[in-house]
């Protein structure tokens, strides 16, 4: 069991929000638009959790002839047009966040998703109310797997790393939390493939945090 902590830092996509189907559809559309290519779903899954531009640079090979701003805009336009058909919260999310909050735990959201869609999605599913701070690439210049986003959240919460747990579904989450000096917890329900970066804990349902 993960144990009892003063603060909990959560990833969003794949941890609280089932978004993999939407993410795959968006990349299928935008990669076809950008370069007329398609990639195996497993490759796209491998880099979910990195900032969007970094993912495109990996998938498209740092092609300097491409207008990444245009590609990302097309990607986001497609996402905003279709998200309601794909997104939903994982089982136990509201119950767990509510219980932690009622037990006076400090909660932060640490995500590589851009702030505009974070606000839309967390507001729609009414989970924004649980978090004291939301760290995104728009308010933190460092990105997972760098410890910067986790350290920024800890600083805001006034919590030391040894009293906090980072909960995520990707190796970038585990690396981010571990590098910040935190214990880490992998949610297995959305993790695809081998667990490369060994977390301190692995859970099958978010309720196991309670």
For 46-65, the pLDDT digits (tens) are 888 888 888 988 988 877 77
pLDDT of residue 192: 64
What is the assigned CATH class of domain 7-18+88-209?
A: alpha beta
Domains in the chain: boundaries: 7-18+88-209, 20-85
pLDDT at 199 over 80: yes
CATH of 20-85, one of 3.90.25, 3.40.50, 1.10.150, 2.60.40: 1.10.150
**3-class DSSP state for residue 19?**
coil
Produce one character per residue of 10-21: b if its CB has 16 or more CB atoms within 10 Å, e if not: bbbbbbbbbbbe
Give 187's contacts (C-beta < 8 A, 6+ positions apart).
Answer: 14, 15, 90, 167, 168, 169, 203, 206
Mean pLDDT of the chain: 93
pLDDT of residue 21: 94
For 72-123, the pLDDT digits (tens) are 899 999 999 999 999 999 999 999 999 999 999 999 999 999 999 999 999 9
Helix axis angle, 171-179 to 148-157, nearest 10°: 60
pLDDT of residue 92: 97
pLDDT of residue 4: 93
pTM for this one?
0.92
Rg (CA), the chain: 17
The long-range contacts involving 154-163, CB below 8 angstroms and separated by at least 24 positions, are 154/7, 154/9, 154/108, 154/180, 154/182, 156/108, 156/132, 157/7, 157/106, 157/108, 157/132, 157/133, 158/106, 159/6, 159/7, 159/106, 163/5, 163/6, 163/7
pLDDT at 193 over 70: no
- The DSSP output letter for 88 is E
124-143: average pLDDT: 96
Count of helices and strands (H, E) across the chain = 8, 8
pLDDT of residue 102: 98
Residue with tokens 């136990």: 92
157-178: average pLDDT: 97
End-to-end CA distance of the chain: 9
The β-bridge partners of 185 are: 167, 201
């Amino acid at each position: 069991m993960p144990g009892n902590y003063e603060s909990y830092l959560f990833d969003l996509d794949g941890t609280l929000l089932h978004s993999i189907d939407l993410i795959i559809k968006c990349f299928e559309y935008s990669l076809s638009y950008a370069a007329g290519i398609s990639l195996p779903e497993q490759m796209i899954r491998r880099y979910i959790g990195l900032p969007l531009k970094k993912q495109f640079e990996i998938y498209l090979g740092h092609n300097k002839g491409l207008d990444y701003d245009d590609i990302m805009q097309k990607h986001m336009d497609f996402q905003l047009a279709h998200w309601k058909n794909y997104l939903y919260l994982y089982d136990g999310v509201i119950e767990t966040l509510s219980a932690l909050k009622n037990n006076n735990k400090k909660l932060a959201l640490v995500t590589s998703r851009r702030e505009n869609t974070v606000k839309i999605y967390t507001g729609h599913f009414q989970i924004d109310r649980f978090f004291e701070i939301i760290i995104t690439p728009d308010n933190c210049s460092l990105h997972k797997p760098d410890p910067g986003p986790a350290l920024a959240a800890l600083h805001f919460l006034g919590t030391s790393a040894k009293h906090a747990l980072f909960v995520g579904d990707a190796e970038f989450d585990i690396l981010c939390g571990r590098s910040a000096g935190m214990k880490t917890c992998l949610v297995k329900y959305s993790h695809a493939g081998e667990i490369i970066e060994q977390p301190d804990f692995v859970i099958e349902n978010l309720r196991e945090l309670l």
